[in-house]
Structure 1
């Protein structure tokens, strides 16, 4: 083999090696590009997942805030409704309390009522001796009916007539503009046993309070259609 043939063979080997190297380089480039694309896709998907999770988290927060705001507004509305209902009921009670003042405005009817209140209190206490307290303005009316009240009680209870001592300490007077914020009494009596352990408060205000409390569910039903819990 002469030099020319050797040179040709070497060139041919070089071309083969170069071709093989280029093919291998292309394979490496393609593999690297595929690996890069896969890794890039994985990174993109991971970022998408993070974005979706963050969006879902924020969406849940928004929903929770909306629910909280709605609940707060609903509670505030309920409180306003209940407050308006209470204001109306209390206004009715105040009107009824003002009407009580008319009861003591008629001396004849009020005297009869005082007697009935005294008899009722005696029947509740069933004591041989009691202390009676009334308004200062009502002392004369009370004294006028004491004997007939004791007699009626004795007949109903089948006992001796009790001793009734009219207390020198009086119940507060009726409400006026001057004592609008102070203690007041619209009328009636308070009876107690001599030792003070048993007390029967039979004032008009106390009876209104009892009646109002008893009738409150019915009042609410008639006004609002439901009974407040």
Structure 2
């Protein structure tokens, strides 16, 4: 084999080796690109998953915050409604309390009322001797009905006429615009046993409180069922 043949054979071997190298390089390139694409896709999906999870977490936080805010606003609204209802009920009670003062304007009616209140108190206490306390302005009216009140009680209970001692410690006076925060009494009486262990408050204000507490459910139902309708 001459030099020319040897050279050709070497060139063929070089081309073969180069072709194999190029093919191998292409295979490596394709394989590397596939692996890169797969890894890139995995990374993208992982990031998407993290973003979705973060979004869901924030969405839940927003939802919880909205529920809390709604609950707070609802409670605030309920408190305002209840406060408005209480204000309305209290204004009714204040109006009723002012009406009590009109009772004192008619001496005959008020005198008869005082007698009835004394009799009622005696019937509740059932004591042979009691202390009676009233407003200073009402002492003369109370004393004018004591005898008839004792006789009426004695007749109803079939007992001896009780002893009633008018106390010189008086109930507070009627409400005054000059001192709106001072203690006051709209009228009526307070009776107690001689030892002070049993006390029956039969003032007009005490009776108003009792009636108001007793009728409060009906008052609320009547007022606020109409408002709701």
The residue aligned with 2:134 is 134
Distance 1:179 1:209 in 2: 22
The residue aligned with 2:177 is 177
The residue aligned with 2:112 is 112
Moved more, 134-143 or 46-55: 46-55
The residue aligned with 1:157 is 157
Moved more, 89-98 or 74-83: 74-83
Distance 1:163 1:23 in 2: 132
Matched, 1:210 2:210: yes
Calculate the TM-score normalised by the size of structure 1.
0.95
The residue aligned with 1:32 is 32
Distance 2:126 2:93 in 1: 32
Deviations 1:8-61, CA, capped at 9 Å, x for gaps: 222222211111111111111111111111111111111111112222222222
Moved more, 197-206 or 48-57: 48-57
The residue aligned with 1:48 is 48
The CA deviation at 1:115 is 0.7
Q: Size of the alignment, in residue pairs? A: 226
The CA deviation at 1:200 is 0.2
The residue aligned with 1:143 is 143
The residue aligned with 1:65 is 65
Secondary structure of the structure 1 residue equivalent to 2:202 = strand
The residue aligned with 2:95 is 95
The residue aligned with 1:200 is 200
Secondary structure of the structure 2 residue equivalent to 1:165 = strand
The residue aligned with 2:84 is 84
CA RMSD in angstroms comes to 1.3
Secondary structure of the structure 1 residue equivalent to 2:177 = coil
Moved more, 156-165 or 28-37: 156-165
Distance 1:217 1:60 in 2: 42
Moved more, 135-144 or 16-25: 16-25
Distance 2:130 2:5 in 1: 151
Secondary structure of the structure 2 residue equivalent to 1:225 = helix
The CA deviation at 1:7 is 2.4
Distance 1:85 1:9 in 2: 112
Moved more, 133-142 or 18-27: 18-27
The CA deviation at 1:92 is 0.8
